[in-house]
Amino acid sequence: MLFLVRNVWRQTEALVHLDRLQHNIRVLKAELSPGVQMMATVKADGYGHGAVEVSKAVLSAGANQLGVATVEEAVVLRQSGIEAPILVYGAMPEQAASAVVDYDITVTVAGAKDIQILADAANGHHRPVRVHVKLDTGMGRLGVRSIEEMLNVLSHISDASPIELEGMFTHLSSADEMHLADGRVYTEMQRRRFIDWLDAAKHAGYHIPIAHMANSAAMLWGPEYHFDMVRPGIAMYGYHPASVWKQAIDLQPVLELRTGITRIARMQAGEAVSYGRTYVTEKEEVIATIPVGYADGIPRALANRAYVEVNGAVVPIVGTVCMDQLMINVTGIDVEVGDPVIIYSKRIESKASIQHHADLLATIPYELLCRITSRVPRHYIF
């Protein structure tokens, strides 16, 4: 007889505090004017937190819709029983059109070909396929690039009876840099261009039910960016989109990554630790091993630079981060095998926080959250 083992014995685990997630949703909703919807961004498996559980939690806390990157991500949510509207932000592959229709998924379109593919797939079905038109106002990634191109797409939607125009949106490239002059000027340019294109669509006789552009940063910057709906991402998970805004709103980090000590060694001066001997003890030191490494999503670049928490103390990672293990210096700390170790703390001010690790690597919390691999079990706390 075969048994399926699903991470029931691992010491390494990600604790996802859904109560904190719901707190963040309520705090963010308090920033909105009446009638403004919230599309919670749950792409990339909910930024590594687990898209299904995250989606259920944010919807119960007041989010109106969900946003994902791919049709596959949307299908997973539908198969998990989630019935709320789901928008796919990314381009729709032709082969996914039938799934879009079957699972009642809203998709992004930016050309006449997209519309024809959807119309063909929807033939014979008794409900429309909802679409949002993407405008490239300055991101340089996806979307129509001119008013003329936009009007052509809208005309094709109008002629395709199974297709329903639900929204129009754009994405901001520099909203998290609006505390800088250049970032503010560029973001304002995108906002003005978005308004001009919306006006052109309305003057041409098209009704745009939902206009949206604000990610976390723009949402927090001001109501002029909110339009009909906002699309928070990183702020939902407890991180401010720019470090200068850390005191702007009460966000609580949702995820905590922890493990346990598997070995404690008292090493003499001059002994090397891990691959490449990148750390050599200067005196008698106590080095503990923990079962987590880059296969779990811990960047090797954190070696000899970052910190973790053990029994209330902050201690350094020493030696090269291995695939499945890393070492920490616990000299002077009262520890035993099995003691818990917090790799990513839920305390934003901790030197073991995701924010601090991201700052060390000159990256963003998004990347470190999304790096946490599937072999790390997620445990949900309400």
User: pLDDT tens digits, residue range 271-318?
Assistant: 999 999 999 999 999 999 999 999 999 999 999 999 999 999 999 999
For position 244, what pLDDT does the model report?
60
For position 10, what pLDDT does the model report?
82
Domain-embedded: residue 243:
no
Check whether residue 200 and residue 284 sit in a common domain: no
Domain-embedded: residue 37:
yes
Closest CA to 32 of 189, 316, 319, 224: 224
DSSP 8: S
For position 64, what pLDDT does the model report?
98
Q: Write the CA distances from 114 to 19, 94, 146, integer angstroms.
A: 40, 8, 17
Q: Active-site residue 237, yes or no?
A: no
Facing residues of 131 across strands? 107, 165
Name every residue whose Cβ is closer than 8 Å to that of residue 88 and which is 6 or more positions away in sequence. 68, 69, 70, 71, 73, 74, 100, 105, 106, 107, 108
Domain-embedded: residue 245:
no
Q: What is the C-alpha R_g of the chain? A: 24
19-33, 240-254, 316-330: least confidently modelled range: 240-254
Facing residues of 144 across strands? 135
- Return the residue matching tokens 């429309």: 128
Domain-embedded: residue 11:
no
Check whether residue 234 and residue 299 sit in a common domain: no
Band the pLDDT of 7: cuts 50, 70, 90.
Answer: low
Check whether residue 94 and residue 122 sit in a common domain: yes
Check whether residue 322 and residue 180 sit in a common domain: no
Check whether residue 147 and residue 94 sit in a common domain: yes
Average pLDDT value over all residues in the chain: 94
More confident residue, 240 or 86: 86
For position 8, what pLDDT does the model report?
63
Instruction: Give residue-wise pLDDT tens across range 180-197.
Output: 889 899 999 999 999 999
For position 2, what pLDDT does the model report?
44
Say what the pTM is: 0.93
- Return the residue matching tokens 């039910």: 209
Closest CA to 74 of 91, 60, 87: 87
Facing residues of 109 across strands? 133
Domain-embedded: residue 20:
no
Domain-embedded: residue 249:
no
Sheet arrangement for strand 326-329: 263-267, 285-290, 326-329, 313-318, 307-310, 340-344, 255-260, 13-17, 378-381
- Please pick, among 43, 56, 134, 346, the residue that the annotation labels catalytic: 43
Q: Write the CA distances from 290 to 164, 303, 330, 368, integer angstroms.
A: 54, 14, 12, 19
- Please pick, among 113, 202, 246, 275, the residue that the annotation labels catalytic: 275
Report the CATH number that the domain containing residue 55 is assigned in CATH.
Answer: 3.20.20.10
Name every residue whose Cβ is closer than 8 Å to that of residue 201 and which is 6 or more positions away in sequence. 150, 151, 154, 168, 208
Tally of domains in the chain: 2
Average pLDDT over residues 14-40: 97
For position 243, what pLDDT does the model report?
61
Taken in order 135, 41, 77, 377, the sign of the CA dihedral is positive
Check whether residue 141 and residue 233 sit in a common domain: yes
For position 247, what pLDDT does the model report?
54
The answer to whether 291 and 11 have CB atoms below 8 angstroms apart is yes
For position 245, what pLDDT does the model report?
58
User: 72 is in which domain, residue-wise?
Assistant: 31-238
Domain-embedded: residue 248:
no
Query: Which of 207, 238, 269 is at the close of a domain?
Result: 238
Q: Active-site residue 134, yes or no?
A: no
Query: Which of 238, 267, 287 is at the close of a domain?
Result: 238
Check whether residue 171 and residue 310 sit in a common domain: no
Band the pLDDT of 178: cuts 50, 70, 90.
Answer: confident
In percent, the amount of the chain with pLDDT more than 90 equals 88
> Hey, what are 163's tokens?
């297709």
Instruction: Give residue-wise pLDDT tens across range 50-65.
Output: 999 999 999 999 999 9
Check whether residue 260 and residue 117 sit in a common domain: no
CA atoms within 13 A on the CB side of 357: 31
Helix axes 18-29 and 51-60, enclosed angle (nearest 10): 50
For position 5, what pLDDT does the model report?
43
Domain-embedded: residue 158:
yes
Check whether residue 270 and residue 223 sit in a common domain: no
Check whether residue 304 and residue 201 sit in a common domain: no
In whole angstroms, give the CA distance from residue 188 to residue 182. Answer: 10
Does residue 83 surpass a pLDDT of 90? yes
Q: Write the CA distances from 127 to 103, 170, 265, integer angstroms.
A: 11, 26, 66
Query: Which of 203, 238, 273 is at the close of a domain?
Result: 238
- Return the residue matching tokens 């297709």: 163
In whole angstroms, give the CA distance from residue 121 to residue 71. Answer: 15
Average pLDDT over residues 8-32: 94
Check whether residue 220 and residue 312 sit in a common domain: no
Check whether residue 99 and residue 163 sit in a common domain: yes
In whole angstroms, give the CA distance from residue 141 to residue 136. Answer: 7
Instruction: Give residue-wise pLDDT tens across range 103-156.
Output: 999 999 999 999 999 999 998 787 889 999 999 999 999 999 999 999 999 999
